[in-house]
């Protein structure tokens, strides 16, 4: 109905144009309503823009960002198969704590992917032999490690109980890329290691204590993260790297 009226109005307006092609000049009483209506139209437009901004504070269609730049909707790097925002993000944000040693290990792995040294310091027990000096000094050491190491894949090999219910061990396969930031021309070195980490529950909360590299070949891994994480190839252990990157 409205479109028919518009078309009809257009036809009437077209037939009303004088033969000379000149349109009649608007009188002042015709101009004033148009001027008065303009601010209201602008207000309505501004309200629409503000409403859209509130609905999408980071830009229309933009992907939400989680802690340290990991996309909130992206699969969590830990390999759980869950989106980051529903997996390790609440742990990294301090909204919750790891309920099991495996959850803690996976969240620490993701923290290395995200370059989040504060979370590593927060979840390492102060009695750990790797936690030497002050918290500031430890975070600085972890940052240096993160500059040299990129986690490329995680696969849980086995989980074992400790001497008490408050102690646990997890053996896992780690794919990593190591580089020397002080020698830019050196190509990164990719390798794979197997680590065994020890966790302790203190005051109802799980902490990382220490870890060591182990020789293990042909082990079937579980819950892999990253390309080739479930491969059964033997881990390559290099003595000169022992103790440098066993921080998960």
pLDDT in tens, 165-217: 999 999 999 999 988 766 666 666 888 999 999 999 999 999 999 999 987 55
Whole-angstrom Cα distance, residue 15 to residue 8? Answer: 11
Q: What does the pLDDT read at residue 224? A: 44
Between 26 and 187, name the one with better pLDDT.
187
**Is 17 a residue whose pLDDT tops 80?**
no
Helix (H) or strand (E) holding 193: strand 189-202
209 touches 176 (CB < 8 A): no
Whole-angstrom Cα distance, residue 179 to residue 163? Answer: 38
Whole-angstrom Cα distance, residue 212 to residue 191? Answer: 16
**Is 226 a residue whose pLDDT tops 60?**
no
Domains in the chain, please, with CATH? 67-241 (3.10.450.50)
197 touches 170 (CB < 8 A): yes
What average pLDDT does the segment 100-106 reach?
Answer: 97
Model pTM?
0.63
Nearby residues of 11 by Cβ (< 8 Å), 6 or more positions away: none
Nearby residues of 125 by Cβ (< 8 Å), 6 or more positions away: 131, 200, 202, 207, 208, 209
The SS3 call for residue 108 is helix
Q: Residues 125-168: pLDDT tens digits?
A: 999 998 888 999 999 999 999 988 889 999 999 999 999 999 99
Please list the residues that pair with 169 across neighbouring strands: 160, 198
Pair of tokens at residue 218: 């042909």
pLDDT band at 63 (very low <50, low <70, confident <90, very high): very low
């Amino acid at each position: 109905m409205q479109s028919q009226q518009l078309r009809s109005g257009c036809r009437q307006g077209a037939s009303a144009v004088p033969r000379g092609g000149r349109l009649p000049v608007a009188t002042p009483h015709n101009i004033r309503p148009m001027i008065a209506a303009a601010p209201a139209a602008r207000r309505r437009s501004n309200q629409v823009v503000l409403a859209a901004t509130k609905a999408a504070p980071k830009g229309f269609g933009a992907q939400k960002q989680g802690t340290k730049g990991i996309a909130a909707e992206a699969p969590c790097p830990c390999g759980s198969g869950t989106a980051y925002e529903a997996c390790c993000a609440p742990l990294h944000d301090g909204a919750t704590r790891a309920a099991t040693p495996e959850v803690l290990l996976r969240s620490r792995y993701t923290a290395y992917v995200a370059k989040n040294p504060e979370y590593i310091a927060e979840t390492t027990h102060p009695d750990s032999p790797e936690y030497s000096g002050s918290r500031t000094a430890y975070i600085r050491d972890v940052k240096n490690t993160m500059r040299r190491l990129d986690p490329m894949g995680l696969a849980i090999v086995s989980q074992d109980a400790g001497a008490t219910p408050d102690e646990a061990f997890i053996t896992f396969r780690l794919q990593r890329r190591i580089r020397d930031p002080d020698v830019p021309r050196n190509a990164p070195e990719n390798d794979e290691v197997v680590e065994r980490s020890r966790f302790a529950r203190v005051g109802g909360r799980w902490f990382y204590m220490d870890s060591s590299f182990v020789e293990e070949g042909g082990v079937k891994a579980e819950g892999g993260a990253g390309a080739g994480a479930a491969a059964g190839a033997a881990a390559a252990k290099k003595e000169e790297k022992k103790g440098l990157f066993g921080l998960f």
